A and B are shown apart, each in its own frame.
Chain A
Amino acid sequence: MQHALSAKKLNVYYGEKHAVHDVSLDFAEKQVTALIGPSGCGKSTFLRSLNRMNDLIPSCRVTGDIMMKEHNINDRETDVVALRKKIGMVFQRPNPFHKSIYENIAFGPRYHGMKKKADLDNLVEQSLRKAALWDETKDRLHKSAFALSGGQQQRLCIARSVALRPDIILMDEPSSALDPISTSRIEELITELKEEFCIVIVTHNMHQAARISDKTAFFLSGRVVEYDETDKLFLDPSQKETSDYISGRFG
Chain B
Amino acid sequence: MERSVNMERSYNKRQEAKPHIAEEWVGKIYTLICIAFLVITIFSMVYFVASKGLSTFIVNGVNAFDLLTGLKWNPDIDVPSFGALPFIFGSFSTSILAAIIAAPLGFCAAVFIVELAPKFGRTFLQPVIELLAGIPSVVYGFVGLSVIVPLFRDLFPGQGIGIAAGALVLSVMILPTITTIATDALSELPAGLKEGSYALGATRWQTIYRVVLPTTMPQQMTGIVLGIARAFGEALAVQMVIGNAPHIPHSLFESTSTLTSAITLSMGNTAMGSVQNNVLWSLALILMLMTFVFVFVIRFLEGRKKL
Contacts and interface: CB of A to CB of B under 8 A. Distances in A.
Contacts of A91: 192, 195-196, 199
B300 interface: no
A97 to B, nearest CB: 6
A53 B307 contact: no
Interface stretch (B59-67, B201-209, B240-248): B201-209
A213 interface: no
A84 B201 contact: yes
Contact of B196 (A82, A95, A111, A146): A95
A170 to B, nearest CB: 8
A108 B214 CA distance: 16
A112 interface: yes
A107 interface: yes
B199 A84 contact: yes
A85 interface: yes
B203 A81 contact: yes
A98 B193 CA distance: 9
Given A95-B190, A97-B215, A111 B200 contact: yes
A143 to B, nearest CB: 12
A188 B195 CA distance: 25
Interface string A65-105: 00000000000000011111100110111011111000000
Contact-residue bracket for chain A:
20 to 34
A203 interface: no
Nearest to A105: B200
B201 A98 contact: no
- Nearest 4 interchain pairs by C-beta: A95-B192, A108-B200, A89-B199, A84-B201
Nearest to A94: B192
A203 to B, nearest CB: 18
B200 A160 contact: yes
Contacts of B190: 93, 95
A146 B202 CA distance: 21
Contacts of B192: 91-93, 95
A51 B195 CA distance: 12
Interface in A197-251: none
A56 interface: yes
Nearest to B206: A111
Interface string A37-55: 0000000000000010100
Interface string B158-196: 000000000000000000000000000000001011011
Nearest to A109: B200
8 contacts: A51-B199, A95-B192, A97-B214, A99-B214, A111-B201, A111-B206, A112-B201, A164-B200
Nearest to A170: B199
Interface-central residue, B200, B201, B206, by most chain A CB under 10 Å: B200
B200 A107 contact: yes
Contacts of A112: 201
A144 interface: yes
B199 A53 contact: yes
Given A80-B201, A84-B200, A97-B214, 18 more contacts: A81-B202, A81-B203, A82-B201, A88-B200, A91-B196, A95-B190, A95-B192, A95-B196, A97-B196, A97-B211, A97-B215, A98-B307, A107-B202, A108-B202, A111-B200, A144-B307, A157-B196, A160-B196
